[in-house]
Each structure stands twice: as structure tokens, then as C-alpha cells.
Chain A
Amino acid sequence: MAVFSRGFGARRRDTDPHLPPGQYLTEDFPVLSAGPTPRIDTDEWSFSIRNEHGEVVSWDWAQLMDMSIEDVSTDIHCVTRWSKLGTSWRGVSIDTLMAQVETDAQFAMAHSYGGYTTNIPFEDLLDGKAWVAFEFDGEPLDPEHGGPARLLVPHLYFWKSAKWVNGLVLMDEDAPGFWEQNGYNMHGDPWTEERYW
């Protein structure tokens, strides 16, 4: 049973059916990360997927740009409670990349320049649910938002959308990534408020 806060509510924000519980709308694009912003040139960038048998497939920037690129319009939700609706991105779908990888793995660990990691059930990355994104709002992705490329998994809280992403490691068993070791949920569904342990 909630307690009431006397006098609260004068400056309430609009609610919107697209907002998951406990979230509020923001027009800016807040930044969250655990350390300084890495700055990676596209000519040193690469992305690789390693399957559960240790086989690796890699792409450099030019190869990524040669793949089928998709426009994505989506809402995004940060565990710190802001949501942004109708954001637009461009990127390569994980399905497209996975066409070159064989796996039966159930889980993935995303890895980033700078050492960040986050774990994601593999099915949450497939079937048009996730991209390696490199454009936001028609512009190359800013370093502070994860440029040159970040993972985009918009149906989960945004800490799963690893910035400065440089690879996926596919795993038979789940293991916690960086924030997951530090108290965040292993899955992160905003609609069921999977925020913390």
C-alpha cells in the first residue's frame, strides 16, 4: 500500500500508454555509463561474434556498411527512469549478422571497448529485436551515446544496449555482465520493472 506524500503532484508530467511503469518522458538524451567515454575511430573498429565452440566471425566498419542496413523507429527506456519515445536509428540487425554464425547457444554476453559487458538471453537479440546501430536521428552516433556503434535492444532497459559494442560471445549458460554483477536484473524487461536483483 502506497503512502501519500502531502502536497505532491502539482507539477506532474503527462502520462502516456507507451510509458512502462515507473518511467517518465524526457526530451533530452541523458547519458549513463560507468566510466569515461571511449573514443574509437571507425577505421580501428571491429565487431565479432564468437559462438559456444570458440569460432569467431568478425566484421570491420566497411564490411558492416556493406550489409543490409535497417531504419529503426522505437521507444527506449532507461533503468534510471527516463524513457524517450519514437527515437530513430539506423543499424544492421543481429539476424543479418547471425546468418554467418552457427550456434545453439541460449545466452549472449555483449562486450564493449572500455571493458563494459552485459548479458542478454539470445532469443532477445533475434527476430528483429536487436541491431548494431551507428546512426541516431540521422547523424552518426555520438561517442557519448556509444558511437561509432552500440547495441540496440529497445525492448529491454537501455543498459542492455551496450555502447561502444565490439562483440558478442554466445554462451550455453547465463552469466552476469557489468551492471548485473553490481545489482541490476539479469533480464531487464521495463514492462515488468526488472530493474534490480
Chain B
Amino acid sequence: MIVGGWRPAEVVDVVDASSHARVLRVRVTDWPGNDAGQHIDIRLTAEDGYQAERSYSVGSYGAGDIIELAVDEVPDGEVSPYLVRDVAVGDQLEVKGPLGGYFVWRAGGVVPVQLIAGGSGIVPLRAIARAMSDAGVAASGRLLYFVRTPEDAIYRDELTRDAEAGGVPVTWAYTRGAPDGWQGRVGRLDDSGIAAASWRPDDEPLVFVCGPTRFVEHVADTLVRLGHPASSIRTERFGGA
């Protein structure tokens, strides 16, 4: 892990990811590179000096001074609506990091790997899926991604394209509405649904679960019930009740 002080950063690219989420690319001065799964702190400063800081995962990994973020809007939030609605190419902010040395996967790390995301929890798992593909072990990864509807998914096209090109296979779980022609169920996945989309405890996977607090609680409890040892389940909770 490298932290360092606040580094100036500039927004170089913004792409809508859904009606309420956006992928941002940010050039960070003297960025030392980051491991897949790490996060940063962002500091925003208003003209009058007022400041706010929040944590965001990095969807990219490795060297280079441009990092990728994906932010989902919390409607009554202070920072995320600004990042999703207002920030534009050329705008400035500050970044501290990379942060975290636990919710990470590095080339040569344990396989198989089970990735389970809810909503914006996909961001660090996207980086891990990328790192696994680059390390040639995508077939040892499985990604289970919970979204309300297909339109709510961040990285929807990239994940599908990568999976078709030999990247980490994706199982979609729709909690509110599925695409036309969807054969599977819609709604919260039960134990057998999660088991069917995941490596078995006998395969001894390392499991990464990320998303809103309640989602992570539910999935982690289910995994323990399915027989995964707690010590092989890593969680990152993004907040919310």
C-alpha cells in the first residue's frame, strides 16, 4: 500500500454508465500505480474553502497516471451527485492513495477467486477481474453481479464483452427487472442461487464481496451458511443502511 499526501488530479474523461452512475477517468499527479481492489480518498474543495472527503474504489489497476472510477449516485448525498451530475472534463479535485492492502488481488495470488458485487460494488471487482485476465487466470475467476435491472449495471457492456473474449465469466442476478427473454429468476437470490453461480467451498476459493452494507451482510452470511470458511471471505462495505 502507498498513501502519500493529497495529490492534485484532473478529470480527463466522463462516460455515463447508467441513468445514475458515471465512469470517470482522472489523471493524478505522480500517481504511483495501484493494486487491483484498492481505493482512494477524494477531496473536493468549494470556492469558499469548504471541503468534503469520501472513499472511492479504483476500477483500473497497475501503472500509469490515469485511474478509473465509477460512481453511483446516492440521491440525497453530498458528494456522489456532484461526481455523477456536475463534474466535467478539466475539473480539478484531490486524491489520496492508493489505500487498502487487504481487499486486493495480485498476479500469482490465490485462485480460484469468486467475485460477488452489488451495484457500485462492482468497481474494485472490475479491477480484480482485469488483473486476473491479464495474469492469464480468468478461467479461475467467477463474477456474480447483482443489479436491480440491466440498465442499472455499471460496466455492463465491458463485462459481457470481456467474458465472451475469455475474461472472467459473469453471472447476472436481477433483483427488480430482467432483460427480455430472461429465463432465470428475478429477485433476491436464495442460497441455492448463490451456490449455483459460485465456486463451491470444496474448490477453496478466495471470495471478494463488495457493495452496500446490507447487501454485503446478506451475501457474506449466505456464504458462511453454504460452508465457506469466514477466513476466506473478504468484504468491502460501501455504506448506506
A9 contacts B46, C-beta separation under 8 Å: yes
Tell me if A99 is interfacial: C-beta within 8 Å of chain B. no
Mostly, the B contact residues are: mixed
CB distance from A24 to the nearest CB of B (A): 7
**Digit string of A29-41 for contact with B (CB within 8 Å is 1, else 0)?**
0111111111000
CB distance from B4 to the nearest CB of A (A): 9
- B residues near A196, Cβ cutoff 8 Å: 1, 3, 99
B45 contacts A28, C-beta separation under 8 Å: no
A7 contacts B82, C-beta separation under 8 Å: yes
Q: Which of B16-24, B90-98, B121-129 contacts A (4 or more CB under 8 A)?
A: B90-98
CB distance from B201 to the nearest CB of A (A): 13
**Cα-based distance from A183 to B77 in the complex (angstroms):** 27
Q: Which A residues, 1 to 60, have Cβ-Cβ distances below 8 Å to chain B?
A: 2-13, 15, 22, 24, 28, 30-38
Chain A, Cβ-Cβ closest to B219: A36
Q: For the side of the interface on B, what is the size category?
A: 35 or more
Tell me if A128 is interfacial: C-beta within 8 Å of chain B. no
CB distance from B223 to the nearest CB of A (A): 7
A37-B217, A196-B99 in contact; A24/B52 too (CB < 8 A)? yes
**Cα-based distance from A67 to B161 in the complex (angstroms):** 62
A36-B220, A144-B217, A183-B1 in contact; A5/B235 too (CB < 8 A)? no
Tell me if A80 is interfacial: C-beta within 8 Å of chain B. yes
CB distance from A8 to the nearest CB of B (A): 5
**Cα-based distance from A72 to B41 in the complex (angstroms):** 32
**Cα-based distance from A15 to B1 in the complex (angstroms):** 31
Tell me if B110 is interfacial: C-beta within 8 Å of chain A. no
**Cα-based distance from A28 to B76 in the complex (angstroms):** 14
A9-B48, A182-B100 in contact; A3/B86 too (CB < 8 A)? no
- A residues near B52, Cβ cutoff 8 Å: 8, 12-13, 24
B231 contacts A5, C-beta separation under 8 Å: no
- A residues near B166, Cβ cutoff 8 Å: none
- Best-surrounded residue of A3, A22, A182 (most CB of chain B within 10 A): A3
Tell me if B186 is interfacial: C-beta within 8 Å of chain A. no
- B residues near A9, Cβ cutoff 8 Å: 44, 46-48, 50
Tell me if B54 is interfacial: C-beta within 8 Å of chain A. yes
**Digit string of B222-241 for contact with A (CB within 8 Å is 1, else 0)?**
01100000110111010111
Tell me if B13 is interfacial: C-beta within 8 Å of chain A. no
**Digit string of B65-100 for contact with A (CB within 8 Å is 1, else 0)?**
000000000000110011000111001111000011
Tell me if A114 is interfacial: C-beta within 8 Å of chain B. yes
Tell me if A140 is interfacial: C-beta within 8 Å of chain B. no
Q: Which B residues, 194 to 208, have Cβ-Cβ distances below 8 Å to chain A?
A: none
- B residues near A181, Cβ cutoff 8 Å: 101
**Digit string of A174-188 for contact with B (CB within 8 Å is 1, else 0)?**
000011011100000
- Best-surrounded residue of A3, A5, A7, A114 (most CB of chain B within 10 A): A5
CB distance from A21 to the nearest CB of B (A): 9
B44 contacts A36, C-beta separation under 8 Å: no
Q: List 11 A-B contacts (CB under 8 A).
A: A3-B45, A3-B92, A4-B46, A12-B52, A22-B53, A31-B217, A35-B234, A36-B220, A36-B233, A196-B3, A197-B3
Give 19 new A-B contacts, CB below 8 A, not counting A31-B237, A36-B224, A196-B3: A3-B8, A4-B92, A5-B93, A8-B45, A9-B44, A9-B50, A10-B82, A11-B78, A12-B78, A28-B240, A30-B237, A33-B237, A35-B235, A36-B221, A37-B217, A37-B221, A81-B54, A183-B1, A196-B99
